Structure formats: C-alpha cells, structure tokens
C-alpha cells in the first residue's frame, strides 16, 4: 500500500485575480517561520499512526500553495525532515514543489534539488505580458523562460508547467502562440486548464462590472481541441482531461486523487482522504496556526464519502477511464447495471464509450465532462 503527503504553503507575493485557493500575501519572514513551525508540529502530532504501522509507504510528497518557492531551503528541509520522521518514505518518492517564476534563484533551486525535490511544477499561465498583467501575476513571460532554464541548470529532469486557456480577451491565435512556445521548451509535463470563474475573486467582480468580458465557451472549446491536437502532434500523451505528459512522467501525486487513493494533507486548508473519510483543516492561516499551537491539529471538517460515486467520476477524468471489473471487485456492484439508463443516454450522445471492459469519456465527453459527472453524483 502507498499513500501521498500534501503540504500547503499559503504565501504569495501577490494575489492573482482568478485565485480561489487559501493564500496570504507574504508579509515578513517571521510570519512564515511561525507557519512552518506550526506545519511541522501538525505533521509530528498527527493521528495518522496507522500509516506508519501498516506497512504503507509514502511515495509522493507535494508542496502546493500559494507559492512554496518563497520558503528558504532551510525551511523546506525542516518540513521534509518532519515528514521523514513521521512516515515511512519510499526510496523512489516523487517530491514535487510548486514554484512561481521570479521567486527562485539558481542557488536556491540547486539546494532544493539537493534536499530531494525531484519534480518542479510552476505556473506560467500565459507567455503574453499583457495577459499576465490582467491576471495580476507577479512575473513576466521572460521570468518564466528564465525559470525554466534555471531549473534545467539545477538538474531538474521532471518539469511541469501550467497554462490557462479562455482568458478574457484571449484569441485562438494567442492561445496557439502560448502552446507553441510551451512545446518548444520541451517540459516533461503540461497542465492546460480552461479558465474557471470563482465567485468572490477579483476577476469575478471585474466580469460582473463588465470591466472584463465573460469568457466565450465556444472559443474555449476550440482552444481545448487545439491543445489536444498540438500536444499529440508533439508526442505528448493525454492521460487526464487537463494534463498531458511525455511517456513515464505522469503526475504520480495528482493521480492519487483521480484514483481515490490515500493522501494525507497538512497545512492551512489542506484536505486529506484516508481511504474511508475525507477531512479538511481550517482555512484561515492565523486561525490554523493558533489551533495547531494549542491542540496540535486544525481539523474542522470530516465526512464519509460516497466512494462508489467519487471513484466513478474521478476515474472518468483519466483517459483510461474506469475498469468495470475493478469497480465490481471494489464495491460489489455492476457499474453498468447501477447507472444503466444514464450511461445509455451518455453513450447515445457520444460522451461515453466502453472499450475492453473500460468505461471512458470520448473526446466530446471531455468537453462536456461536468454533464457526464452529474450522472454519478
């Protein structure tokens, strides 16, 4: 048995206009140091003892955020030591750190690499400086290019970066230029998302007040189709709705979520799943720190999940889809019998198909995946 560890680092240099994550603007080093101490305390005092006592090994560690690359190498080493002290770590563990351009130096990257960070995921979002300003990103396109070069120079051989399609005022030609530049850089992995508008974000307010136009859904669909065509032509394999990879470089950590495997989350707003229940931490950074300092934990929500439902719609995000026999073995029910009428309608609409005892989305189904997932909720 294997499991993953997620570590949330909330600090950012500035807040992006579209962001709905639990983040805080970096104020001073003392605040970060206090947070790191609380995070290490939560890890050390967590009640996930059964993981260390059951033969389960941790084979993925993921620093997410926020901007984890704002941490000093000493702080990263302190956190990793806490994880190593608590859990049994597999020798070939994938250790990912999210990074933002313009937050790293060649020296810090080399030190991160020496600490065991072996996968970098950084948020480019777009190579257009005008679009970056609209999104309130704290970097330029040249910063992204420089960061990629520094990662290679520091010895990173597994690099992923994010791009967002469907930005306000973005044209199909703009998106194609982004894709072309990304593919020329030859990263091992790309996460290519369609913009989502979250209520309460600055971007949502800008759209509501008509300072920014509402993204065009038909244009976004064209962008998605173009992404699939161009990445496939460049020998990338799509393995999940929004993710493509060179062979052998799938995100092992993110795949755990899609396969409904155990992930233990630490830090503000971190979510965990232990195989039976999902639970989450306090979303306010200050409240999280106070709770951990006082109680050693900051859990504020715990619930049993409908595992059959989540296994189905999460598994459908993957290109390989759901193994119908595995579903029956895991849950004791036949997926085709359980959702027969809905599945028939979705197949007739060319959104789903069955191949070699696997249920998976069609290419059209990927564009309308939310409609498909609704059948399993």
Q: Convert the pLDDT of each residue in 46-59 to its tens digit.
A: 875 444 445 689 99
pLDDT at 19: 47
Question: What digits encode the pLDDT tens for the residues 13-29?
Answer: 655 444 455 555 556 78
Residues of the chain with CATH 3.20.20.70: 2-258
Q: How confident is the model at residue 200 (pLDDT cuts 50, 70, 90)?
A: low
**Cα–Cα distance measured from residue 163 to residue 145, given in angstroms and rounded to the nearest whole number:** 13
According to the 3-state scheme, what is the secondary structure of 163-225? EEECCCCCCHHHHHHHHHHHHHHCCCEEEEEECCCCCCCHHHHHHHCCCCCCCCHHHHHHHHH
Residues of the chain with CATH 1.10.10.920: 307-376
Output the average pLDDT for the chain.
89
Q: Does 1.10.10.920 match the CATH number of domain 307-376?
A: yes
Taking Cα atoms as reference points, which of 119, 39, 83 lies closest to residue 291? 39
Question: What digits encode the pLDDT tens for the residues 121-156?
Answer: 988 989 999 888 877 777 899 999 999 999 999 999
Q: How confident is the model at residue 338 (pLDDT cuts 50, 70, 90)?
A: confident
Looking at residues 222-227, what average pLDDT do you find?
94
Tell me the whole-structure pTM to 2 decimals: 0.91
| CATH of range 2-258; options 3.20.20.70, 3.30.70.1730, 3.30.470.30, 1.10.630.10 | 3.20.20.70
């Amino acid at each position: 048995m294997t499991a993953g560890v997620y570590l949330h680092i909330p600090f950012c240099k500035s807040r992006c206009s579209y962001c709905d994550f639990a983040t805080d603007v970096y104020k001073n080093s003392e605040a970060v140091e206090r947070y790191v101490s609380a995070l290490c305390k939560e890890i050390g005092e967590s009640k996930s003892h059964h993981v260390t006592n059951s033969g389960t090994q941790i084979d993925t560690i993921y620093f997410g955020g926020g901007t984890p690359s704002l941490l000093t190498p000493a702080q990263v080493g302190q956190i990793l030591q806490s994880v190593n002290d608590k859990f049994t770590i597999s020798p070939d563990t994938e250790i990912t750190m999210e990074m933002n351009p313009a937050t790293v130096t060649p020296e810090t990257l080399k030190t991160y690499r020496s600490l065991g960070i072996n996968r970098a995921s950084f948020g480019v979002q777009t190579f257009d400086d005008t679009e970056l300003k609209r999104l309130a990103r704290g970097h330029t396109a040249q910063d992204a290019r420089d960061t990629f070069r520094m990662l290679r120079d520091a010895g990173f051989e597994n690099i992923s970066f994010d791009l967002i399609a469907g930005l306000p005022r973005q044209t199909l030609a703009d998106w194609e230029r982004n894709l072309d530049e990304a593919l020329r850089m030859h990263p091992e992995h790309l996460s290519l998302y369609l913009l989502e508008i979250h209520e309460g974000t600055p971007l949502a307010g800008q759209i509501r007040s008509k300072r920014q136009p509402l993204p065009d859904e038909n244009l976004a669909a064209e962008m998605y189709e173009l992404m699939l065509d161009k990445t496939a032509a460049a020998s990338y394999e799509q393995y999940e709705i929004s993710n493509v990879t060179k062979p052998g470089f799938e995100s092992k950590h993110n795949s755990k979520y899609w396969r409904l495997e155990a992930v233990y989350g630490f830090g503000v707003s971190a979510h965990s799943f232990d195989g039976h229940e999902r639970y989450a931490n306090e979303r306010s950074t200050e409240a999280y720190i106070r709770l951990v300092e006082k109680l050693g934990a900051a859990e504020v929500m715990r619930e049993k999940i409908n595992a059959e439902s989540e296994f189905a719609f999460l598994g459908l995000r993957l290109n390989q889809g759901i193994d119908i026999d595995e579903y029956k073995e895991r849950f004791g029910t036949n997926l085709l019998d359980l959702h027969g009428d809905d599945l028939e309608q979705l197949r007739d609409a060319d959104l789903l198909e069955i191949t070699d005892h696997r249920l998976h989305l069609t290419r059209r189904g990927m564009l309308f995946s939310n409609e498909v997932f609704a059948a399993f909720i």
